[in-house]
Amino acid sequence: MNTILVILLVAGASVAASYLLIKLGKVQDKDKDLIPDAVEEAVEDVKQDVEKKVKEVKRRAKRVKEEVKDVVEAVKEVGNQAEDVVDAVKGKPRKGRKPAAKQPQENNPAPKRRPRRGPKKAD
């Protein structure tokens, strides 16, 4: 009970002091809403900083989601390849891509590297 009373007294004294300073012309209040211009500017700066931070956090969350999706796809591929290893141990024939047919070396240059899967990330 006493704590609430003290808080109310401090808040009331702050409002009264602010009102007096504005009325005496010691603090500027161009729009006459009894909120000092310095306070309004500080609040506006904080709002802008918070908006920037929120935007950055959203951007990073989106990027993390993209990378997690890539990892999930890679883990699925590892699972598929591991099944192929088990099948090979059991003696089953190779399925999927077959090795390239043997050709003379001068007509069979080194195989081209496969392009990276997934959309190119612009970072």
Residues that bind Ca ion (CB under 5 A): 29, 31, 33, 35
Amino acid at 72: V
Nearer to Ca ion, 17 or 54 (CB): 17
Evaluate whether 21 touches 27 at the Cβ level (below 8 Å).
Answer: yes
Q: Is 113 helix (H, G, I), strand (E, B) or coil?
A: coil
Nearer to Ca ion, 42 or 82 (CB): 42
Closest alpha carbon to 15 in 38, 32, 34, 31: 34
CB of 28 to Ca ion, least distance (A): 8
CB of 23 to Ca ion, least distance (A): 13
Closest alpha carbon to 40 in 31, 49, 53, 51: 31
Nearer to Ca ion, 41 or 84 (CB): 41
CB of 51 to Ca ion, least distance (A): 21
